Amino acid sequence: MNRGLRAYNGQNKLAQWVQIVSECRESGMSVRQWCQEHGINISSYYYKWQRKVYAMVQAQQEVQFAEVTPVQAVCTDRVAVTIRINGMEADIHSGADAATVETVLRVLQSC
């Protein structure tokens, strides 16, 4: 639970930083002028916000692969749950083990 809350807070902060960087870039002002007008330390802007936002954008543009190891199991063709994250979808069949479900969730979240 604690890890999930930290991840949520991190995503929230990142969303705020994306908004701040976007507002600055779309303002037509120099970064220095915009930061002065908004009472933001220019070093914080570059090293805290812009750097993290650009790293996120770069990570999203990189091709990501995930290995999925097929496991022979009895499948009843009964879908227990369908998970949709970031435009991706996965059906989890009844009887799927926890490790498989966790791997599928991790892969969907990284897309």
Residue with tokens 């069949």: 93
pLDDT at 76 over 70: no
Give the chain's length. 111
Calculate the average pLDDT of the chain.
76
Among the listed residues 77, 4, 16, the one whose alpha carbon sits nearest the alpha carbon of residue 48: 16
Same domain as 51, residue 12: yes
* Same domain as 98, residue 75: yes
Same-domain check for residues 46 and 97: no
Q: Which two tokens stand for residue 34?
A: 């915009």
- Residue 108's domain comprises 64-111
Is residue 87 located within the same domain as residue 103?
yes
Structure tokens at 36: 């002065």
Position 72 confidence tier, pLDDT thresholds 50, 70, 90: low
pLDDT band at 50 (very low <50, low <70, confident <90, very high): confident
Inter-CA distances, 80 with 3, 90, 107, Å: 26, 11, 19
The number of distinct structural domains making up the chain is 2
| In a shared domain, residues 29 and 80 | no
Please tell me whether residues 53 and 70 are part of one structural domain: no
Decide if 109 contacts 85 (C-beta within 8 A): yes
pLDDT in the model for residue 15: 78
Which H/E stretch holds residue 35? helix 31-38
Q: Answer whether 0.85 is exceeded by the pTM.
A: no
Asked if residue 55 and residue 98 are part of one domain, the reply reads: no
Q: Examine the domain organization and report whether 81 and 46 are in the same domain.
A: no
